[in-house]
Amino acid sequence: MIQYNKILIVGCGLIGGSLALAFRSHGVVKEIVGVDLDTEGLNKALSLGVIDAAYSRVEETVSDVDLIILAVPVQQTIRQLEILSKLPIKKGCIITDVSSTKSDICKYARTHMPKDISFVGGHPMAGSEKSGITAASPRLFENAAYILTPDPDCDPAAVDKVRKTFEQIRAHVLVMDPVQHDQIVAAVSHVPHVVAALLVDQVADLGQANPLYSRLAAGGFRDVTRIASGSPVMWRDIILTNREPVLYLLKDWIKRIEDIVNWINEADPKEIESFFARTRDWRDALPAKAKGAATHYYEFTIDVEDKPGIIGNVATILGQHEINLRNIGILENREEVNGQLLLSFSSFRDQEEAMRLLLGHGYKVYVRE
């Protein structure tokens, strides 16, 4: 079992916060310190107990940490590596990152980082369209692929330690070359993001002249465009650091769009049906989504006042009655949902019992569909 004395998380948002929570719940670390430019988010991470101490710059806390996690947008990750390369880092400290693209970062680390610092590039294939500490979850990485892209010259003991660290939070670690990584994620993540944004852009333009477009944008449109709600800064950096593979695939798209335009133009039923049949078959054959953070079988929300200690209060009520709370999260996006605090349980019995208790303590309870 891996246990670090002190981990530094640079960027206490969705991914940094989720890693901190997962490390805590799996005994990976004794103390977690956080750095973030956004003081509001950083203070929230501190008051929620996600981190033990908060700093505004890495310089203030770096000297005695054993593992540094860079969880900031891609271009900021490179900037942080530059800063770290000039600081007195503890001997044996390992640096890893979580950025969605790997070639530029790994190239920078290989050419600029001191040789006695082990940098192991990383990318958890788990996340969401939400940002910030309030969207963080300790179970985000359970059953998710976690890709590592170590340099061939990196100390194998450091790579092994990083692998074991992420396995301990129940992720499935895969080691691959950064260039291959970027080509694959361009197809399964980056181009889909561009396409989702294009779909939204088209309907948004049409909607300017007619509000019925947004009123009728339901079901399928919402499913296929969910990811377009992601952080614009994060996605800007991803696209700008993976230009070649993204451009290659978008040019391929133009050809594919031309094919579909031709089949529709020619009213070709055979081609149109066979296109929908082969894409459905491939989609249906994808492995079933593993049970992870996104799957909460028994959950409800409650209304709570925005004051310190409220989460602790709810957790205490449930803990005193030995109800196993699986996850607790603050909902920022209140669309179609009553209640700000989402509680998830492993069983229907726990959910029912928790609802009864919290109602008894005066909380307003809302069951989700």
Ligand X SMILES: O=C(O)C(=O)Cc1ccc(O)cc1
User: Residue 189's binding partner, choosing from ligand X, ligand NAI, none, with beta-carbon cut-off 5 to 8 A by kind?
Assistant: ligand X
- Cβ proximity of 300 and 355 under 8 Å: yes
- Distance, C-alpha 341 to centroid of its chain: 20
Instruction: Restricting to residues 113-142, name those near ligand X by CB under 6 A.
Output: 125, 127-129
Q: Binders of ligand X among 172-211, rule CB under 6 A?
A: 189
Among ligand NAI, ligand X, none, what does residue 245 contact (CB within 5–8 Å per kind)? none
Q: Are strands 118-124 and 145-150 parallel, antiparallel or unpaired?
A: antiparallel
Cα four-point dihedral sign 138, 142, 145, 149: positive
Of the residues 18, 77, 100, 344, which one makes contact with ligand X according to CB under 6 A:
100
Contact between 72 and 78 under an 8 Å Cβ cutoff? The reply is no
Cα–Cα distance for residue pair 279/286, rounded to 1 Å: 11
Which residue's CB is nearer to ligand X, number 59 or number 129? 129
Number of helical (H) and strand (E) elements in the chain, helices listed first: 14, 12
Considering only 59-67, 73-81, 192-200, 273-281, which stretch makes contact with ligand NAI by CB under 6 A? 73-81
Least distance (Å) between residue 112 CB and ligand NAI: 17
C-alpha 133/C-alpha 84 separation (Å) is 24
Min dist CB 167 to ligand NAI, Å, is 18
Stretch that binds ligand NAI, among 71-79, 179-187, 251-259, 353-361 (CB under 6 A): 71-79
CA 106 vs. chain centroid, Å, equals 20
CB nearer ligand X, residue 72 or residue 318: 72
CB contact at 8 A, 318 and 325: yes
Q: Which does 10 bind (CB under 5 to 8 A by kind): ligand NAI, ligand X, none?
A: ligand NAI
In the complex, minimum distance from the CB of residue 171 to ligand X, in angstroms, rounded to a whole number: 13
Partner touching 132 among ligand X, ligand NAI, none, CB below 5 to 8 Å by kind: ligand NAI
Structure tokens at 122: 């990383």
Binding-site member from 7, 8, 11, 149 for ligand NAI (CB under 6 A): 11
For the four alpha carbons of 219, 223, 225 and 229, in that order, the dihedral sign comes to positive
Which residues in this chain contact ligand X in the complex, by CB under 6 A? 100, 125, 127-129, 189, 227
